[in-house]
Every structure is written in structure tokens, then in C-alpha cells.
Amino acid sequence: MAQLAADLLDRIPTDPGVYLMKDAAGRVIYVGKAKSLRARVRQYFRPGADARFFVAAGFLGKLLADVETVVVTDEKEALLLENHLIKRHQPRFNVKLRDDKQYLVLRVLPPDRAPDAAPARQFPRVEVARNIRADGARYFGPYHSATSCRETLRVLNRHFQLRTCTDHVLEHRGRVCLQYQIQRCPGPCARPVAPAAYAEQVDDVILFLEGKDRELLTRLRERMATRAAAEDYEVAARLRDSIAAVERTVSRQHVVQEDLVDQDVFGVHREGDRAELAVLFVRAGKLVGKRSFAQRDQELAAAELVAAFVPQYYATGTFIPDEVVVPVEPPDAAVLAEWLGAARGRRVRLVWPQRGTRVRLLELATKNAERAMTSRRDRGADVEAALAKLQARLGLRRPPARIECFDIAHVQGTETVASMVTFVDGAPARARYRTFKIRTSTNDDFASMYEVLSRRFKRARTAAADDPWAPPDLLVVDGGKGQLAMAVAALTDLGVALDREDGMDVIALAQERELAAGDAPDRVYVRGVKEPVALRANTAELFLLARLRDEAHRFANTFHRERRGKAALRSALDDVPGIGKTRKAALLRHFGSVAAIAAASVDELARAPGMTRAAAAAVKAHLAPPPPSPPPE
């Protein structure tokens, strides 16, 4: 380690920049920035100079094989580059922007007021999105439930006249739709609409979503008065309804800050190396939403945690408010504030208050972070309890931390497929899902199960304990006693030791039919147990197994539909010499159907995109009707 430090430090510059620490395989395990690269990297090799666990405990020293540096001109450039490299490499020891779920947001593209702009840009719409991208659009949210998000969208569509159709429909519709008939859209798809008037509606929507209710109400009242004075009472009535809707929304919101500024308030709750960050969204003094993020294996001080997290959070294109409130002063606060201002295009205040209403907001954000961590920890405890109950109820050797479930899907023996889904600690591990095309059997579910289990567990013979193909703690097959017997036969034929103390448990889950007196309980067939085990409804163990089975059904059926769809796409064009996928798709787009292609002349076929006369002649010859049979003598 000392020799490595000497070799590295000799070639590290003293300029500001970013350093990338790599392991022996060349993977980036940590990215950092510094005013002086050599001075910062030297701290990692001085005992006691860095108290973070992964440094003090020697993990970094055991993994580190090289340090790469990138020199920049100043600290602001270093911050930008560090954030980009963290997103690109996802280093093991850096703070990561991991949310507990994907929240819905509302996306609005600002209208393009140029007269030659595309219709979709002149007449934008409000749409629901899950991912925030740096595409010039405005994003509002996040919303904690799809219901609240879509309710907001319904209010907008009801009281602000913006189109709801897609860009494709806007550009190709020939007549107005029902939304125009009920006066919820001006009909830019088929009627002349003034882009300036439409842009006013978009601006109103943006003000509404930003929570700038006073400014919006003032604008609406002025326009209503103007329309009423011009005796345009129909438009004035719509504006009156919009004003009422905004006022109802305002009355439901609680003012938490007297200063009418837009703020994001960051709270941090720590428990050992686990941290939770919560962000409160305060718009025009009103609390309008919250989002929380979990951080594990992080022993950074709170200031460094905030400094690492904030730029990652806003680099996704998230709306940057007038003021960002953090619990502690982050390192290089001036650089961070300058970067936020540059990203927003206007000055942003970065504050860490000691008194006043902002401190109360920080306390509220910290309480939300604590509640989010507690909720996450309780979910883990619930899963642990469910696994323990499942072990006790079925007599398993140990709580099944890793479970695999298999299901067969086909329609009357055609396109038979199988699915394997994996749950780790009670949660889907989708990276370990697998699908299988059945090769040998057709309409025989038992033979199909034998084949798929044989193929899967042949891979387990040489798999290490941490390999995804290693045997699970519990194997579940969908079906009854027959499916269980076939699974045991397949495993026995492969030499899988099922009777060892550390062996794998095997069960079959049968979903019972509905009875007149109510639903019969689901039954579990356990290897070595004569009678099936009936699991009571509304129990944690049944809920876990039902989720597993339903996920296996879904995954198998999805793959089966894909296979059927590919088979259905095969057409008479597939066997034409010289007609590949590209030409086939172009012909179908141009003519609309195989029948229309067959009816076309060689000249018409040759004029189609991507076609030549030789290819057109081949198509015509292949699709030509067979000559009539000669009359009987």
C-alpha cells in the first residue's frame, strides 16, 4: 500500500479537478473532486485523515489499484464533471440518487411562438411522465400517487383549454373531437387557433402548477373583465369557472412560510451508516409535496452527504426553485450555489438557517426523513416475519431468503414457454428472471416442467454460492401433486441432493377453484408430506406465495404473447427472394396489406420506397394466383 501511494502521488497534479479511483479490474469505485488533487488523494493514505468507514476500515485500500485524474480550470467545472462521472459509472462508494419509488410528474413543453413552428410545439399539452429529462420541458411534481397526479390533470383539462390528444393525432386528425364539442379544447387539430391565445392558456397552467395562485388569479380576473366588457360572455364564463377552481385549490392548501418564494427544503435523518434524505416542495409559501431517498453504507458527515446529493438531484432536470434550504453548510457552498444558479438561469439562494420559519421547515423535513426510514425498516421486518411464518407453516429447513417459481404457458400446445421468477428477501429480483422455449413437448405440462427444470438445474452443478444459477432455498412449481412429483423426478435424475440438511426445499402451489360457499383455500403440496397444507386467507405467508405465483403467471404469459405475436407477423412476403425485413415493412406501410400488394402492378411495386424493378417482379411472381386447373377431359 505504501509503494502504491508513492507511485500514485508522484504523478498526481496539484491542479483542481476530479479523481477516479479504480480497482484491479479497472472498475471505478469512487469519484471525488478537489481544489488540489494531490493534497486530497494523499489524505486517503494517511492513517486517521479520513474517518469514513470504507476508508478507515481498509476496504478502499484492499480494492484500490489505480487513480485517474482529470484536470479542470476551477471548482465549478470540477463539480459538474464529478456529477457527470458519478451518474456514468455508479461507483460503489459514492452517494447515489436512489429513490424509494418512481413518482409521477406532469410535463409541459413551453409553447414555441415562432409562426413556422411545428403544431406540436405551437400547441403543447400537459402529459403524465415518470422520468425527468433535460429536454427543455417543465416538470411539476412529483405526485405520491397516480390518483392525485391524474386528478390534477383532470382539473387542468376541465378548466384550462389545452389539447389532450397526442402529437401524432394533432397532426393527422381531420375533424374536431369530443373535447372540442364539450368546450374543453380549442381544436387546433382542425380549426384555426391563435398561437398567442393558446400560449396564454399554457402560461396559466404553468402558474397553476407552480403554485403562483395570486399571479394567476390576477391574470384570469383581468381577462374575464376584458371579455365581459367586449360582451364575449361565453369566454368570460369559462374564465369565471377557472377562477373558482383555482380558489378552491388555494383554500385546501396550508401556508407554511410567509415569504412567498419557491423553496426546496432538505432534511436528513441518520442511523449508523444508513441515511434518509427528504425533500419538501414549498411553492409560494405552501407545502405542495415531498420526496424521500435512501442511502446505505454511507458514513459521510451530513455536510458532505448534502454536498454530494444536491447536485445529483438537480442534474436530472428537476425544477430548481428560488431558494434551496439545507440543514448544514456544505463544503464549497459558494460553488454549489453558483452551479445551481447557472443550471436555473437565475440566481438561487443556498441557505442553512439557524432560526426562524426556515428552521421549522427543516425540522418538518427531518421528521419526514425519519418517518420514511421507519417505513422502509418496517417493510423489511414484515418480510422477515413472513419468511419465518412460511418456514414454520410448511416445515422448511430455513427461512427461504431466495425463492424461485416456475410456470408453463401455451395455447393448445402451441408456442409452449416457461418462466422462472426469483424473489430475494420477499421482493422481486427481476435481473434473475428467465424465460425458456420448450423444445421437446407440446401439450404436456408435466413433460414441459421436467424439461425446464432439467435445463435450469444443469446450470446449478458448477455454480458458486453467489452465482444467480446457484440452487435457491425454496423451489415452487405452479400446480398440484403431479407437478410436484415431476419436479422431484427431474431433480433426482440430475443428482440434486434433496435430503441433505443444507438441501433445497421443493413445493407445489395449487390455486383452488371458487366454491359456492366461498373460495377454497390455496393448497401447498410439500415433498414428503402426504396431505396438502391449506394456507388461510389474508396471511402473510399466503400473500408472499400468491405474489410469487402471480408474477410467474404474468411473466410466462407475457413471453407467450410475444412468441404468438412474432408467429402471427409472418406473412406471404416472408418467402419472397430478395425481400427482407426492411422491404417487407416498407411495402406493408405503403400498400397497407398483403392483398393490396398482390393486386398492384410491377410498376406500382417498383415505385414503392426501397424497391427495385427486379424485386418488384419477384414479389409479383410470388404472389400471383396459381393458374386455373385444366378442365377435365
Does 583 lie in the same domain as 513?
no
Per-residue confidence (pLDDT) for residue 255, from 0 to 100 = 44
Does 557 lie in the same domain as 412?
yes
Does 579 lie in the same domain as 437?
no
- Domain of 535: which CATH number? 3.30.420.340
Does 579 lie in the same domain as 543?
no
CA atoms within 13 A on the CB side of 214: 6
- Domain of 35: which CATH number? 3.40.1440.10
| Whether residue 254 has pLDDT greater than 50 | no
Does 442 lie in the same domain as 503?
yes
Does 365 lie in the same domain as 312?
yes
Query: Domain boundary residue among 24, 59, 89?
Result: 89
Distance from C-alpha of 457 to C-alpha of 436, rounded to nearest angstrom: 13
Per-residue confidence (pLDDT) for residue 41, from 0 to 100 = 84
Distance from C-alpha of 601 to C-alpha of 613, rounded to nearest angstrom: 11
Q: By mean pLDDT, which of 55-64, 523-532, 600-609 is the weakest? A: 55-64
Query: What are the backbone dihedrals phi and psi of residue 480, each rounded to the nearest 5 degrees, phi first?
Result: -110, -145
Per-residue confidence (pLDDT) for residue 404, from 0 to 100 = 94
Question: Per-residue pLDDT tens for 153-166?
Answer: 887 777 777 888 88
As a whole number, mean pLDDT of residues 276-298 equals 79
Q: Is residue 440 part of a domain?
A: yes
Question: Per-residue pLDDT tens for 572-597?
Answer: 677 777 788 788 888 888 888 777 88
Q: Which sign does the torsion angle of CA 304, 305, 309, 310 carry?
A: negative
- Binning pLDDT at 50, 70 and 90, where does residue 253 land? very low
As a whole number, mean pLDDT of residues 617-628 equals 76
Does 429 lie in the same domain as 550?
yes
Residue 90 identity: Q
Beta strands in 348-473 (DSSP E): 349-351, 402-411, 414-424, 427-428, 434-437
Q: Is residue 114 part of a domain?
A: no
Per-residue confidence (pLDDT) for residue 516, from 0 to 100 = 37
* CA-closest candidate to residue 32, choices 47, 50, 48, 46: 50
Q: Is residue 495 part of a domain?
A: yes
Does 557 lie in the same domain as 580?
no
- Binning pLDDT at 50, 70 and 90, where does residue 626 land? low
- Binning pLDDT at 50, 70 and 90, where does residue 551 land? very high
Does 597 lie in the same domain as 466?
no
Q: By mean pLDDT, which of 134-138, 483-487, 604-608 is the weakest? A: 134-138
Q: Is residue 158 part of a domain?
A: no
Query: Domain boundary residue among 549, 566, 583?
Result: 566
Q: Are 526 and 397 in contact (CB under 8 A)?
A: no
Per-residue confidence (pLDDT) for residue 244, from 0 to 100 = 78
Q: Backbone dihedral region of 137: left (phi > 0), alpha (psi from -120 to 50 degrees) or beta?
A: beta
Domain residues for the domain of 12 are 2-89
Does 600 lie in the same domain as 479?
no
Mean pLDDT of the chain: 80
| Whether residue 304 has pLDDT greater than 70 | yes
- Domain of 583: which CATH number? 1.10.150.20
Distance of CA 496 to CAs 406, 475, 493, 500, 503, Å?
Answer: 17, 12, 8, 10, 8
- Binning pLDDT at 50, 70 and 90, where does residue 77 land? confident
Question: Per-residue pLDDT tens for 388-432?
Answer: 888 988 889 889 999 999 998 887 767 788 999 999 988 888 889
Q: Is residue 296 part of a domain?
A: yes
Domain tally for the chain? 4
Question: Per-residue pLDDT tens for 508-547?
Answer: 988 764 433 344 457 899 988 888 887 766 677 888 888 8
- Domain of 285: which CATH number? 3.30.420
Does 559 lie in the same domain as 577?
no
| Whether residue 89 has pLDDT greater than 50 | yes
Rounded to two decimals, the pTM is 0.42
Q: Is residue 295 part of a domain?
A: yes
Q: Is residue 181 part of a domain?
A: no
| Whether residue 240 has pLDDT greater than 70 | yes
Which residues lie across from 524 on neighbouring strands? 509, 533
Does 366 lie in the same domain as 295?
yes
| Whether residue 435 has pLDDT greater than 70 | yes
Per-residue confidence (pLDDT) for residue 102, from 0 to 100 = 54
Give the range with max mean pLDDT: 102-106, 112-116, 246-250, 542-546.
Answer: 542-546
Query: Domain boundary residue among 30, 61, 89?
Result: 89
Q: Is residue 136 part of a domain?
A: no
Q: CB neighbours (10 Å) of residue 581?
A: 9
Query: What are the backbone dihedrals phi and psi of residue 631, each rounded to the nearest 5 degrees, phi first?
Result: -65, 145
Question: Per-residue pLDDT tens for 184-215?
Answer: 888 888 888 888 888 888 888 888 777 776 77
